[in-house]
Amino acid sequence: MTVNQVAFLQALAGSSARYLVVGGFAVRYHQCIRHTEDLDIFLERSEPSVDALMSALTRLHAGDLRNVREHLLRQETKITWNGVDLFTTMRKLEFEYLFNGRIEVAYNDFHVPVISLHDLNLAKRIALEDPERSERWAIDQEDLVCLEKRCSEAV
């Protein structure tokens, strides 16, 4: 994880934003080998969470944030900042459902909400059905094989 990604997570952890770590870092947390460079954050698409994120980005001197708030409040949106991909929609998955099943992970001196193993497994199954992700099919398939193994071990 880069210095910017850690600073971002720390700033979010100190805010009232509701979010989850998903994607490659979540796959790695659930003990599957996965190379990744970007930190994927699923942010609740609500005014309080987006406003808390905007405050965190301002504290990080994120640069020109004009239109970012409105952009994040729209459905099917994503922004990228210093190796962090922020999005407010996951195909066929509701934020509240995933957030309620989250795992709180201690990292340095703060806690980070991470998508659960079961829900990440479900998200990877859905990703494999998405024709817009065809270029990532091999990665998603490899992740799913490992996650399914981890799910069976957890039973």
Q: What is the pLDDT of residues 105-123, one digit of tens each?
A: 999 899 999 999 999 999 9
Asked if pLDDT for residue 103 goes beyond 90, the answer is: yes
Q: Which fold has domain 3-116?
A: Beta Polymerase; domain 2 (3.30.460)
The rounded radius of gyration (Å) of the Cα atoms in the chain is: 15
Q: Is the pLDDT of residue 75 over 80?
A: no
CA 15/CA 118 separation, integer angstroms? 27
User: What confidence category does residue 6 fall into, taking pLDDT thresholds of 50, 70 and 90?
Assistant: very high
What is the pTM assigned to this prediction?
Answer: 0.94
Q: Are 117 and 21 in contact (CB under 8 A)?
A: no
Instruction: Look over the chain and give the mean of its residue pLDDT values, rounded to a whole number.
Output: 92
Contact 15, 57 (CB under 8 A): no
Question: If we measure between CA atoms, which residue out of 28, 23, 36 comes closest to residue 107?
Answer: 28
